[in-house]
């Protein structure tokens, strides 16, 4: 079972990758679709996802963000077929433990966008940081540490994308937001970009083959 929003995001991400890489993704799209439609447990789906990336190393850059999509799909579609408190069970705790080093912060951002839709509010960077991630709360200092580059550069919401790209390029290599910084900040700066806006974002992208698929995924969630 695939959440319709995930289905759109999957196709949009692959189309964006194809636009800037030139790879024909039609067959790959079908294989990913089959993974997301599997009627199996989550870890079996993860193994199937990993096999597709093994077969198509050209798109390896999207591996962990597609893991995020698989996880979101589990939360929004698959979990409905399980018992009500499944996410509190030892079985799910074990899955979380086994996948601790998988995925990216895109997962949190997509969960936030789903919450925005449920509550009928417009996504905003300050709201994401303070109301969803609770970076000001002493109990959530891990989130503060991870998002410190974003917190420190909120002024970029009023800046051209060239400045977002300049800051992104200077982030330390070990920053957990190194790759996501540019598409995330561009998204929050303009959640409804025109084709001209997107061309400008692509022209200044740190890595078009990653940034533009991620931006396409984010746009699919609003």
For position 193, what pLDDT does the model report? 92
For position 219, what pLDDT does the model report? 95
For position 86, what pLDDT does the model report? 77
Residue whose structure tokens are 């070990």 = 174
- 0.85 surpassed by pTM: yes
For position 58, what pLDDT does the model report? 95
For position 137, what pLDDT does the model report? 86
For position 77, what pLDDT does the model report? 72
Rounded-to-integer distance, Cα 109 and Cα 143, Å: 12
From first CA to last CA, the distance across the chain in angstroms is 21
For position 218, what pLDDT does the model report? 97
Helix, strand, coil percentages in the chain from 3-state DSSP, rounded to 5 = 75, 0, 25
Tokens (6 digits) for 87: 């996410």
CB 133 within 8 A of CB 155: no
pLDDT > 90: percent of the chain: 79
Written as one string, the DSSP assignment of 119-172 is HT----HHHIIIIIS-TTSGGGHHHHHHHHHHHHTGGGGGS-HHHHHHHHHHS-
For position 142, what pLDDT does the model report? 87
Tens-digit pLDDT profile for the chain (222 aa)? Answer: 788 999 999 999 999 999 999 999 999 999 999 999 998 889 999 999 999 999 999 999 999 999 999 999 988 877 667 767 777 788 888 988 899 899 999 999 999 999 999 999 999 999 999 999 998 887 778 889 999 999 999 999 999 999 999 999 999 999 999 999 999 999 999 999 999 999 999 999 999 999 999 999 999 998
For position 56, what pLDDT does the model report? 95
Phi, psi of 113 (to 5 degrees): -65, -35
């Amino acid at each position: 079972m695939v959440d319709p929003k995930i289905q759109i995001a999957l196709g949009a991400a692959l189309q964006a990758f194809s636009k800037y890489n030139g790879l024909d993704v039609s067959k790959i799209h079908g294989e990913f679709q089959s993974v997301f439609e599997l009627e199996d447990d989550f870890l079996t789906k993860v193994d199937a996802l990993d096999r597709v990336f093994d077969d198509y190393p050209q798109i390896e850059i999207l591996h962990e963000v597609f893991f995020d999509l698989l996880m979101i799909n589990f939360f929004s579609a698959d979990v409905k077929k399980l018992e009500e408190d499944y996410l509190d069970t030892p079985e799910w705790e074990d899955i979380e433990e086994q996948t601790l080093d998988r995925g990216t912060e895109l997962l949190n951002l997509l969960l936030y966008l789903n919450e925005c839709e449920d509550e009928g509010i417009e996504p905003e960077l300050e709201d994401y940081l303070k109301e969803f991630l609770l970076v000001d709360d002493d109990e959530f200092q891990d989130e503060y540490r991870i998002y410190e580059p974003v917190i420190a550069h909120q002024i970029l919401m009023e800046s051209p994308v060239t400045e977002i790209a300049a800051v992104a390029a200077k982030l330390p290599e070990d920053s957990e937001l190194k790759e996501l910084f540019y598409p995330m900040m561009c998204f929050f700066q303009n959640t409804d970009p025109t084709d001209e806006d997107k061309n400008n974002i692509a022209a200044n992208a740190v890595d078009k083959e990653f940034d533009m698929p991620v931006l396409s995924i984010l746009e699919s969630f609003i």
